[in-house]
Amino acid sequence: MAQIPVELVKLLIALVAIAAFVGLNGLVLVYLERKVAGFVQRRPGPYEVGPQGLLQPLADAVKLIGKQLFTPSGSDKLLFWMAPILSFMPVLLLFLPIPFGPVATGMEMDLGLLLILAFAGLNVLAICLAGWGSNNKWGILGAARAVAQSVAYEIPLLLSVLAIAFMTGSLNLTTVVEGQGGWPWQWNVFLQPLAFIIYFISALGETNRAPFDLPEAESELTAGFHTEYSGMGFGMFFLAEYANMIVVCSVAAALFLGGWQGPFFDGAWWFLAKVYTLLLVMIWLRWTYPRVRFDQLLNINWKWLMPLALLNLFITAFVMKL
């Protein structure tokens, strides 16, 4: 029997661990989102199912799984069902290069950051297919909105990430983390505050989070690209969105907030604490700001984020050259 390469085994374990992590996080984030929404509106949020409503997301999941999978007539069946899978599957890959802890990295690679950015783009394709495959004009319109938004916000996101890459001279996330210190003032966010802000805003746009959640807009715009999806078809998009949120927050934590390094004891808990803090801020923003109009959304991007990101990049390049 030929030897099974160690790398492959490690990769498999990492993928399984990531799948478990993503699933679990979906539940935790659904719960958090609803609790925060409740508290902001001075309600208790989920309360009845389990202590403090802890089992509510599980009940939601069971309900979602139990629902009938419905294919609209006249739709392209293959594309229609490929879309949710295509939106969810690449997400698992996105977690591979993220350094959760000093040793807990799925696969360390020199072009890790590039891999994340490249595969994150697949989501746009998935949304495009979903809208097209649905044979529904609201689906198509929603998909068009989503694609315009994703493509637009990807640029400032890239530019702000690039500024960090210029500074550290590496696209390897582990190297970037190691380049920073444990204490907050040694983190990149203090050298590149503008890049951090731009990154965070673009990340909101990229993950379709409020106030930039026009692609989905469940109730107000007759929903978006997922109008026709029922049960787990919708659930996959949902899960992918939450997983994407974790990815962008993880990347932010690694690039700007010192990753797993922290005061006193380094370790994965620092990383998770930072990621969850950022996620909480994202949820907080969602329940604070009203949704922007679509032209406002594009204006924010093209008139503000893009020029600022470019400026920031030029200044960084200039300073690094000196």
Partner 1 sequence: MSVIKKFWDDVTSLWSLIVGLKVTGKNFVDKNVTLHYPRETVTSGQLEGFRGPLELIGKPKAPAKPKCIACMMCVTACPSKCITVVKAKAPKPTEAELQAMKEAEERGEKVKKPKAPKEPVKFFYDFSLCSLCGSCVENCPAKALRYSSNVYLTVTDRKELKMDLLARLGAQAEASIAEKEAQKAAESPKNIEAETTEKQAGTES
Which spans of this chain sit near partner 1 (rule: CB under 8 A)?
36, 39-44, 47, 284-285, 287-289, 304
Cβ atoms of 191 and 184 within 8 Å: the answer is: no
In the complex, minimum distance from the CB of residue 200 to partner 1, in angstroms, rounded to a whole number: 13
Q: How many CA atoms lie within 13 A of 258 on its CB side?
A: 20
Q: Which is nearest to 139 in space by CA: 209, 221, 212?
A: 221
In the complex, minimum distance from the CB of residue 163 to partner 1, in angstroms, rounded to a whole number: 21
| Separation CA 90–CA 78 (nearest Å) | 18
DSSP string, 37-102: HHHHTTS--S-SSSGGGTTHHHHHHHHHHHSPP---TTS-HHHHHHHHHHHHHHHHHHTTT-B-SS
Cβ atoms of 300 and 198 within 8 Å: the answer is: no
| Separation CA 257–CA 110 (nearest Å) | 20
Residue 190 or 284: which CB sits closer to partner 1? 284
Residue 36 or 217: which CB sits closer to partner 1? 36
SS3 201: helix
Residue 36 or 268: which CB sits closer to partner 1? 36
In the complex, minimum distance from the CB of residue 71 to partner 1, in angstroms, rounded to a whole number: 39
Q: 213-234 burial by CB neighbour count: b if 16+ within 10 A, else e? A: bbbbbeeebebbbbbbbeebbb
Residue 191 or 292: which CB sits closer to partner 1? 292
Residue 113 or 201: which CB sits closer to partner 1? 201
In the complex, minimum distance from the CB of residue 60 to partner 1, in angstroms, rounded to a whole number: 20
In the complex, minimum distance from the CB of residue 278 to partner 1, in angstroms, rounded to a whole number: 15
In the complex, minimum distance from the CB of residue 201 to partner 1, in angstroms, rounded to a whole number: 11
Residue 289 or 302: which CB sits closer to partner 1? 289
- In sign, the C-alpha dihedral spanning 302, 90, 62, 226 is positive
Residue 74 or 290: which CB sits closer to partner 1? 290
In the complex, minimum distance from the CB of residue 229 to partner 1, in angstroms, rounded to a whole number: 31
Report, in angstroms and rounded to the nearest whole number, the Rg of the chain calculated over CA atoms.
20
